[in-house]
């Protein structure tokens, strides 16, 4: 990370509640959700793992259009936004595989591991997904347990269910 780099951030409304969004000149670094003060603090702490405090600049108006456009369609539908992923090579491999899962559909952690040619890595895949810094944009909410249950989600099971329902409705409306 460039120590002179300024990272801009804002909070915004989304179809899934409030969100904290941060972007560098190269792309979006962080997108996390919150509904309460405690969740906002957790989102802020998550964002701070990727940003230097002295280089943060609040930019509500400049990121407003970006934030709005992120939720017009599901990830994988349309042109993806520029991302500035600050993750390990394995996390990047897992996260980039997520866009192959169609909006409104789900696959298990095991199926995702198999698609990466690492069938015994389901737990490592789950850990990589839990650290996803750009939820919704790299759709970890589409990954569920092998028994069909939703499983956990960093930003809450109810939000995960709402995202999947929104995507299914989007597919139905768009005819995809």
Query: Which is catalytic among the residues 12, 51, 114, 140?
Result: 140
Label the pairing between strands 27-34 and 143-144: unpaired
Exposed/middle/buried for residue 6 (C-beta within 10 Å: 0-12, 13-18, 19+): middle
- Measure the CA–CA gap between 142 and 99, rounded to whole angstroms: 10
Question: Is 114 tagged catalytic?
Answer: no
Residues 6 or more apart in contact with residue 107 via CB below 8 angstroms? 101, 115, 142, 143, 144
The set of catalytic residues is 140
């Amino acid at each position: 990370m460039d120590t002179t780099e300024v990272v801009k951030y804002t909070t915004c409304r989304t179809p899934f509640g409030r969100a904290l969004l941060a972007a560098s000149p190269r792309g979006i670094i962080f997108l996390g959700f919150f509904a309460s003060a405690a969740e906002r603090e957790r989102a802020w702490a998550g964002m701070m793992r990727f940003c230097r405090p002295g280089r943060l600049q609040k930019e509500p108006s400049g990121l407003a259009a970006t934030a709005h456009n992120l939720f017009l369609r599901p990830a994988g539908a349309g042109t993806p936004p520029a991302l500035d992923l600050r993750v390990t090579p394995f996390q990047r491999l897992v996260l980039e595989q997520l866009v192959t899962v169609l909006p409104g559909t789900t696959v298990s952690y095991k199926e995702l591991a198999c698609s990466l040619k690492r069938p015994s890595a389901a737990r490592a895949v789950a850990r990589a997904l839990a650290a996803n810094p750009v939820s919704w944009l790299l759709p970890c909410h589409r990954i569920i347990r092998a028994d069909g249950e939703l499983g956990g989600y960093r930003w809450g099971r109810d939000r995960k269910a709402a995202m999947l329902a929104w995507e299914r409705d989007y597919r139905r409306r768009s005819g995809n």
